A and B are shown apart, each in its own frame.
Chain A
């Protein structure tokens, strides 16, 4: 390490602070908003000094939203549960299907394997809105619109290519000879996949799973069009706060805080695991 001067340290600290403030401020502001009423939020000039209220969270959790126009039912907790269910199930299925497929693409070059892998990736190229209309029609014919099954299926368009391509790279980084060494010691290829390839690619699988989870969680259009109110995730559910008597900024803010929390927690947890996994070191032969 070079020695750094005090001036350089100070400048670096200022630059870092600026970056952190720039990126964290919106989140911090939303966090503050979630404890305010619409009146204090919309007050001009805005102020960071206010009497905090838990009414926004209370409204979300009880499901009753009192506005000037009367009391509204808010299905936010239901939306949150939907989000969790849809994202977890989609990622789980995508992992079960995607990890073995990624292994196959990484280890076995067969005729058309690159074409198939690329086709799967191309699912991510098309704008979702482009496929949405035909998809809606097919789903109506098949009776899949407004079902969890149908939604999870469509979510594979988001999760599967991600997992496939990220995990494939990790498998390719593992020297094939490490697996051969295990196989020649008297183990089947499946045992080798389970005992050698999977653990060594573990950090990559975790990273891909996390990323797929965030993408699934943040999805908006598929759920908006293909599901009705009782199956919609939080991203769509937040629309309910745009009411006839105005936009409920306080509730939107507290809904954002609640819906960001699971992904944030997962990311923090997985981050620790990722560092641990990668520090196991020399995977490459």
Chain B
């Protein structure tokens, strides 16, 4: 399992002249082990699709190296890389039926007809497209085309499977069903896959590790749990998680056995010195400005807490989302019971040190996470 399937080292991508064009991917380093599922997560234009296309061989690498199974391939044409890809735009061959489109991917592998038929039947069953196998791409829906395109990629026995937004067009129930099936299919066969997505639920459900990208820079590359619990910086912290993490900039002051964070509108949060480890305290005291973050489900209401004023109270059927005006910003709380707080009502809020994330005020780099504070 520890064999490296893909190794990306110091890769830059410029559209236009090197060093002067649009810098789409900046000094990317990544390694993917054999059998791993990796999700490239980020908003549009963050460089995730450019990265995928460089690995596939459709975009030239401006600088750096890409190695597949230990051999450098950045100058190879796609045909010599032995990777499979599912395209965001499906890209099925219009003159061929769905069955032919999927079987076509095996043409170069020179398998016998009966083996091909069996593989195609398996894929059709996996993706619930058995009833449209004889249809042409132009006569089926976007979701069906997407599944056909996904099938065309998954059927191949490639060293690496690249999936570009593979389930974006599917209805939610089908998406949830296929997520599980595809993960099982990939794991069972020991395939290695990189999945590009902007849907964090999909990334969390499918991936062993998530690479969060923004502005062409890899922000964090870690397991879904670590990304949620220990975001490397303010971007990852606020990008991953739904609803997003609450963040407030704060000044720091310490006196005696108290550490105080001064928020906007004179809101002050006092913690005991013993709430922080020695190292964290030292880091905090070097700075005058930090950003505090806390996830909505970790915010507690308490009578003795800091005052906030309810602005929105929504019951979503299984949880309550409360937005409250707090320290010149908005604090979002998620609770699991229905509450009957009125708009405009004052509530007390408690931010437990064990749930608090602290980021540097300038660079946004994480200083500490709740678990270490306590």
Shortest beta-carbon distance, A175 to chain B, in Å?
Answer: 6
Q: Is the CB of B94 within 8 A of A281?
A: yes
- Which residues from chain A contact B93 at a C-beta distance below 8 Å? 178, 181-182, 196
CA distance A181 to B77 in the complex (A): 13
Q: Is the CB of B94 within 8 A of A181?
A: no
Contact segment of B66-74, B100-108, B214-222, B354-362: B100-108
- Which residues from chain A contact B156 at a C-beta distance below 8 Å? 185
B13 CB–A CB distance under 8 Å: no
Contact segment of B24-32, B83-91, B284-292, B303-311: B83-91
CA distance A188 to B77 in the complex (A): 8
- Which residues from chain B contact A181 at a C-beta distance below 8 Å? 85, 87, 91-93, 149, 152
A239 CB–B CB distance under 8 Å: no
CA distance A280 to B84 in the complex (A): 26
Residue in B83, B91, B94, B108 whose CB lies within 8 Å of A177: B91
Shortest beta-carbon distance, B366 to chain A, in Å?
Answer: 38
A12 CB–B CB distance under 8 Å: no
B98 CB–A CB distance under 8 Å: no
Shortest beta-carbon distance, B85 to chain A, in Å?
Answer: 5
CA distance A281 to B56 in the complex (A): 28
Q: Is the CB of B137 within 8 A of A185?
A: no
- Which residues from chain A contact B57 at a C-beta distance below 8 Å? 183-184
Q: Is the CB of A187 within 8 A of B87?
A: no
Q: Is the CB of B91 within 8 A of A183?
A: no
Q: Is the CB of B138 within 8 A of A183?
A: no
Residue in B78, B92, B94, B104 whose CB lies within 8 Å of A180: B78
A180-B77 contact, Cβ under 8 Å, with A280-B95, A281-B136, A285-B89: no
B185 CB–A CB distance under 8 Å: no
CA distance A186 to B57 in the complex (A): 12
CA distance A280 to B138 in the complex (A): 8
Q: Is the CB of B107 within 8 A of A185?
A: yes
Shortest beta-carbon distance, A39 to chain B, in Å?
Answer: 59
When C-beta atoms are compared, the residue in chain B nearest to A187 turns out to be B79
Q: Give the residue among B78, B105, B152 with the most A Cβ atoms within 10 A.
A: B78
A282-B137 contact, Cβ under 8 Å, with A181-B152, A186-B108: yes
Contact digits for A148-188, partner B, Cβ 8 Å, 1 yes 0 no: 00000000000000000000000000010110111111111
Q: Is the CB of B94 within 8 A of A200?
A: yes
Contact digits for B227-270, partner A, Cβ 8 Å, 1 yes 0 no: 00000000000000000000000000000000000000000000
Q: Is the CB of A184 within 8 A of B84?
A: yes
Interface size class of A (residues with CB under 8 A): 20 to 34
Q: Is the CB of B94 within 8 A of A184?
A: no
Tally the A-B contacts, defined by beta carbons under 8 Å: 73
Q: Is the CB of B89 within 8 A of A180?
A: no
Interface size class of B (residues with CB under 8 A): 20 to 34
Near B by CB (< 8 A), chain A positions 264-285 give 280-283, 285
Shortest beta-carbon distance, B280 to chain A, in Å?
Answer: 48
Q: Is the CB of A180 within 8 A of B56?
A: yes
Q: Is the CB of A189 within 8 A of B89?
A: no
Shortest beta-carbon distance, A41 to chain B, in Å?
Answer: 52
- Which residues from chain A contact B78 at a C-beta distance below 8 Å? 180, 183-184
When C-beta atoms are compared, the residue in chain B nearest to A185 turns out to be B105
Q: Is the CB of B87 within 8 A of A177?
A: yes
A199 CB–B CB distance under 8 Å: yes
- Which residues from chain B contact A196 at a C-beta distance below 8 Å? 93
Shortest beta-carbon distance, A282 to chain B, in Å?
Answer: 4
CA distance A277 to B82 in the complex (A): 33
CA distance A281 to B136 in the complex (A): 9
CA distance A41 to B144 in the complex (A): 67
CA distance A182 to B92 in the complex (A): 9
CA distance A193 to B108 in the complex (A): 17
Shortest beta-carbon distance, A140 to chain B, in Å?
Answer: 47
- Which residues from chain A contact B58 at a C-beta distance below 8 Å? 180
CA distance A281 to B258 in the complex (A): 72
Shortest beta-carbon distance, B104 to chain A, in Å?
Answer: 7
CA distance A178 to B87 in the complex (A): 9
CA distance A181 to B81 in the complex (A): 13
Q: Is the CB of B77 within 8 A of A285?
A: no
- Which residues from chain A contact B137 at a C-beta distance below 8 Å? 281-282
Q: Is the CB of A180 within 8 A of B85?
A: yes
Near A by CB (< 8 A), chain B positions 33-89 give 56-58, 77-79, 81-85, 87-89
CA distance A189 to B79 in the complex (A): 9
- Which residues from chain A contact B139 at a C-beta distance below 8 Å? 281
Q: Is the CB of A180 within 8 A of B95?
A: no
CA distance A175 to B145 in the complex (A): 15
Q: Is the CB of B94 within 8 A of A189?
A: no
- Which residues from chain A contact B92 at a C-beta distance below 8 Å? 178, 181
CA distance A190 to B92 in the complex (A): 19
CA distance A56 to B87 in the complex (A): 64
Q: Is the CB of A183 within 8 A of B77?
A: yes
CA distance A177 to B164 in the complex (A): 12
A-B contact pairs, 26 of them (CB 8 A): A175-B89, A177-B89, A178-B93, A178-B94, A181-B92, A181-B149, A182-B93, A183-B57, A183-B77, A183-B79, A184-B57, A184-B78, A184-B79, A184-B83, A185-B84, A185-B108, A185-B156, A186-B109, A187-B79, A188-B79, A280-B94, A281-B94, A281-B136, A281-B137, A281-B139, A285-B89
Please name 9 further chain A to chain B contacts, defined as beta carbons within 8 Å, in addition to the given A184-B78, A199-B95, sorted by A numbering: A178-B93, A178-B94, A180-B56, A181-B92, A181-B149, A183-B57, A188-B77, A281-B138, A282-B137
The 8 closest A-B pairs by CB, nearest first: A186-B108, A281-B138, A285-B89, A177-B91, A282-B138, A177-B87, A178-B91, A181-B91
Which residues of B come within 8 Å of A, CB atoms?
56-58, 77-79, 81-85, 87-95, 104-105, 107-109, 136-139, 149, 152, 156
